[in-house]
Amino acid sequence: MVNVEEFREREESVELSDFKSLCMCHIDTAKDQLLKQFVFYLLPLVTAVQRWAWVGLAWLGFVC
């Protein structure tokens, strides 16, 4: 998820610390994008599991 075009366009060399900072910035951006995408996939699963747990507790008589 690192934009390699950004590095290919550069004419000059890049210091290692600058390279690391750029890569970490790209990685953080990608991580945020993935988290936002997967929340919509995981949220229905979590609510379904919670619903089944609630139904199971009600069936056992623990929930009024």
pLDDT tens readout for residues 2-57: 778 887 888 888 899 998 998 899 899 988 888 888 877 777 887 887 777 766 66
In the chain, % helix, strand, coil (3-state, to 5) comes to 80, 0, 20
Instruction: State the pTM of this model.
Output: 0.54
Domain that holds residue 15: 4-60
pLDDT digits (tens, 9 = 90+) for 1-16: 677 888 788 888 889 9
Work out how many domains the chain is built from and give that number: 1
Q: What is the structure's pLDDT at 34?
A: 84
The most distant pair of C-alpha atoms in the chain lies apart, rounded to whole Å, by: 71
